[in-house]
Every structure is written in C-alpha cells, then in structure tokens.
Chains A and B, each alone.
Chain A
Amino acid sequence: MSIEIRDLTKRFGSFTALDDVSLEISEGSLTALLGPSGSGKSTLLRIVAGLERPDSGEVLLSGEDATGLAPQRRDVGFVFQHYAAFKHMTVRQNVGFALTIRKRPKQEVRERVDELLELVQLQGFGDRYPSKLSGGQRQRMALARALAAKPRVLLLDEPFGALDARVRAELRDWLRRLHEEVHVTTVFVTHDQEEAMEVADRVAVLDHGRVEQVGAPAELYDAPASEFVLRFVGDAVQLGPRLVRPHEVVLKRWPSDGAVEVEVERIAVLGADARVDLADGDGARLTARLRRDDLDDLDLSRGEIVWATAEPFRGLPPEPSTGDSEAGKSLGRLGGHVDAVDLGAARPSTTEVDERLDVQPVSLEDRLDAPVRPVPHPAGDAAQLSRPFDAEAEADPLD
C-alpha cells in the first residue's frame, strides 16, 4: 500500500511537531524517517497509524483519504519502541490477538501463529509470558503480532532503540531480510543515521518538523540538500568557508589556491584509515580522514604545518607507483604494530611512537627494513617498564 502525506501540520501546545510536511512512500518500499529527537518523525509515523490526529493536512493510504480513519480500520501493523507487549497474555495470545478479535476460527489462528513464531524464531516460546522474554525476543514477538493480520503497511517507531548494540545489529539484518521476504510497505523511525542508511532503501531526513531531504542513503551522503543533512548524515567538518566530509579533506605540504593552513595536532591510525586532527590559525579544530597510504606518503608529524583543501571523494585508488608504495606498505605493517599498541593502555606513548616513526627522516632502506627490525615497542611488554622510557629517549631529541 502506498502512503501519501500531504501538508501535515501538528502542534502540541506551542510546540510545532510537524510543519507542513509532505511525503510520498511507494508501495513495497522500506523507508526510514531519520531525525534528531523532537524532529517530528515519531509524530509523523503515529499520524500515519491513526494514533495521532493532525491539525491540518491529509494522509492517503493507497490513494484513499484516511486522515480521520480510526487506527483499527487502517490495516497497519505498528511496532513500538518499548514493545507494548500485552503483559497478561502469553506469546501465542499476543501474536494471535489481531486474528482472535477478528473472530477467525481457532484452527486458522493456531496455524498462523505457528507460522509467525517460526518467522520470528520464537518457536517454543509460545506459552511464555512476555516478562519471561528478553528485549530482542519481545520485539520480535511484537513484530510477529503486527504482521499477524497481514497489514498492508508496517510501521516501526524506533523499533531497536531500547535494545543493546549486538541485538540491535541482529534485528536490523533481520528486518532487512524480512522485508525482502514479505515485501510489505515498511516505514521505520530512527535517530541513528547508520541504522537508517544500513536498513532503508529510502531515507527521509526530518528536522524541526520539516522534511529536509528524501532520497536513497547514498544520495543523502553524497549530495546533501542542506547543511543540516550534511551534518546529520555522516560526519562533517568546517574547512575555511566550506563544510565537507572528513574523507574529502586533502592535506598537502605546500600551499595552493583556497587551501587552509593548518597545524597537525594528533595522528591516530585506525586500521586502513587514519584520522588527523588539525587546528587552523584561529584555533578552530577539524578532522581529516586519510587513507593509510596517503598518510604514509605525506609523512606527517605532530606540530607540522600543512595545507588542507577539499576534493569530492571519488573512491579512487591511489596512483600506482614503484618503490615508494612498497615502502608505504612496509611502514603500514609497522604501523600495524603501533595500532595494536593504540588499543592498549599506554596511549600517551603511542603518540610518541607515531611521532618517532613519522618524523625521523627514514631512508628507503630503513623503511624496507622496518618490519624485520626489532621495533622498540613502548607497551609491547608491560612488564618491561624501562622500554617506554627508551622509546621516549629516542623520540625526544627530535622535538
């Protein structure tokens, strides 16, 4: 069933939850309503479900006006953040509720409930009460319950918000797969941009009761329609007059047109990527996200002055080169050691190692040697207390 939202406005007292919102959701799609708290996303969902009445505007379900229709006549399934389990009923009774009140024959109810319990992997839990289920199980029960009467729309209000990270990730995948199987028009509300990007085909970004942008996840990221979307979907940094993504920042050792002079404050290696914290002349901080190869080629160290520009990210591989890239790889492996240290307790020492490795004018031979050379490893062995001091002693002169 398609959903059409036309000029919806909803106020709670002096607070405007929705301000002239229009949105179209096509049949069979999986749409996320994304926004910070107070953006109106839940109110919008609740109006679609009929749990809230708009002050003005219309909701059309399958092209028919449903604005004044009671929730029980809308043929929607709704899943609440806090499950809204019927506590006095068993899992079976919960799941079968929609069919029981429709006075379907017992046999039919039993079969459909069995089918749904299997779908949500709760076979064997049918006779339990919801209080005996975990959060993830309760939410799956709520999903099964919402699907029981074969609704034409499935609406989920922050469905994974109350669950811990692991279960949340599991249920996200599961929802995605469920949608591929059942193909019911699905709309879910979330404040988690990662969740929206990961699960949905289309994302509508809301802020202050207005729709900021609607599009596929990649569109929102690559072509944000407003500063708000840019900031809210993915990270953003202020580079001179421009707002860019951290991975779009390009650092160079020489000035160029429009480049901003910045000082390197910190370098953190994060596996295949590295994060470089920078400060411009006014002390404003920004972050650049570099590929490890690029970082190694730049050979940066703390306190150095570089020039930052921004180029649209195209995901191109680094230019192929000869010996230098070999060296980069080797150093990369060395960096791998450092990275392991980074995870350890001796954080301050890590920077020093970074510094030493990066600042020291290393010859090509040295670099190639690096992996086989016994690395003075500051926190490699916590028992050897003298080691960090050795490393420090080595690094100090370079300051």
Chain B
Amino acid sequence: MLKRLGLRSVALGYLVVVLLAPLAMVFYRTFQNGLEPVWQALSDPNTIHAFKITLYATAVAVPVNTVFGVLCALAIVRRRFRGKGLLNAFIDLPLAVSPVVVGLSLYLLYSPRSGWFGTRLSEHGIQVLFAFPAIVLATIFVSVPFVAREVIPTLRELGREQEQAAATLGANRWQRFWRITLPSIRWAVIYGVVLTTARCLGEYGAVAVVSGRIEGQTETATLRVEDYLLNFNDSGAYAVSLVLATIAVVVLVLMTLIKPKEESY
C-alpha cells in the first residue's frame, strides 16, 4: 500500500513539477495585468494572421500525415518487402532529429540559389522558402511519426482474422478496409491525429528556420510568442502561449472523455 502510494506520488509529483507548474505559471502570468493587454495582444491583426498560418499549416499536415501514417502502418504490419525495417526506422526520424536540423535541411534543399529543388522551382517562379509552402513542409516533416506509431501496435493486435472472415463473407478489399480495418483501428487513428495536431500547432524549430518570420506574412503562432517576448510584450507572449496550450489541453480532455464510453463494447 505504502509502496503504491509512493509510486503514485512520485509519478504525480514529476508531472506537477515538469508539466503542470509551468503551464499554471503561464496561466497566472497571462492574467497578471488584467484582461486588457491579453485582449490587445490577441486581437492584433498580426497575431490573428499568425494563428491562421498555424491553423492552415496544421490543416494540410494532419490529413496528409494521417493518410500516410495509416498506409505506412498497413505496409509495415501486413506486407513483407525489402527495406521494411528501414521504413520502420525512418518513420521515427523526425522524433530523433532536432527540428532545427530539419529546418536547415529544408533550407538547403529549397534555397532558390543553391538548393537542389529550390533552384529549379524558382526558375518556374515558385517560391518555397520563406513562404507558406516551406512552413507546411516543415510542419509535415516533424509530425510524420504519430499516426503510424499509434496505429502499428493496434493493427498488430487486431490480426488478420476479422478481415479474412469478411473476405469469406464476400467483402472485397475496399469493403474490408472501410468496414472492418478502419473501424477497428479508429481510436488509434484518432489518437494519432490528436498528437499530430498538437505537434503541428506547437512546431517551432524547423518553422523558425524556413519561414523567414515575416510579421503578418510567414509568422506562425509559436513564432509570434517569441516575437512578443523579444519586444518585451510579456503579456502578449503569455496570451498567445495560453491559447496554444488551451487548444492542446481541450483536445486531449475531449479525447479521454469520449474514448472509454465508446470502447465499452
């Protein structure tokens, strides 16, 4: 009993010190000087634009990575092919490599003057670096692993029998995927989507390198926080941070609220 209590308090204590305290601090500091500076910071057109850029990038990256993640998981669990181990390892690459390095590598690829892709694209008048496409690319890159990582174990556990049963009952490949596989892995997919979304919203390092940080144009919400901090507008920085943190927390709480009820079958 004592042992269990001890373990619990260590776990909780750790979370409080590492996670909750800093978040609470942001919350406290945001409203330290009342609502006025918060409102001012959030209603600033450049802040709104920064949020829009973040949301747009997320809106592109999440569906792309969801489809890719499910496909990758299916390939890794269900198929045998050469280089499967490599694919499996590559999926984790964005977790292992620092986002700044990711940003730098994108910079090198898409630089209009010397990048492999960048020179050719700029010949056709397409600007990637320091524009929205670079932000999207960086966001996609850093949020690749989450859906696949959630889906792979669920798919392994699911096995093939239900799909085989569906096949003998007359379901073709497409029907098997939509009626059996996808419903069976849906919670893993949803959880993967939540994590991907959170990661996209919070992306900073890679985007910082490739976006150019042009206020009102290529500035994302996280860059906006830094911008406010550098300009000694602490309340503004806290306010934007709080919004980002709130979105993440709300999504996670919603997840935990819906999930157990649905899984009762």
Contacts and interface: CB of A to CB of B under 8 A. Distances in A.
Interface in B144-199: 161-162, 164-172, 175, 179-180, 183-184
Interface majority SS on B: helix, strand, loop or mixed? helix
B81 interface: no
Given A86-B180, A129-B265, A131-B265, A80 B161 contact: yes
Interface in A135-179: 142, 145-146, 148-149, 155
Interface stretch (A97-105, A194-202, A281-289): A97-105
Given A87-B184, A129-B265, A98 B169 contact: yes
Given A87-B184, A88-B265, A131-B265, A97 B168 contact: no
Interface residues of B, number: 17
B167 A87 contact: no
A77 B171 contact: no
Nearest to A75: B170
B165 A101 contact: no
A101 B179 contact: yes
B170 A84 contact: no
A51 B161 CA distance: 10
B169 A51 contact: no
A71 B265 contact: no
A40 B167 CA distance: 22
Interface of B: 161-162, 164-172, 175, 179-180, 183-184, 265
B265 A87 contact: yes
A3 interface: no
A78 B175 contact: no
B171 A78 contact: no
B166 A77 contact: no
Given A88-B184, A101-B179, A51 B265 contact: no
B167 A146 contact: no
B137 to A, nearest CB: 36
B185 to A, nearest CB: 10
Given A84-B162, A129-B265, A51 B183 contact: no
Given A101-B175, A101-B179, A131-B265, A86 B170 contact: no
Contacts of A77: 168-169
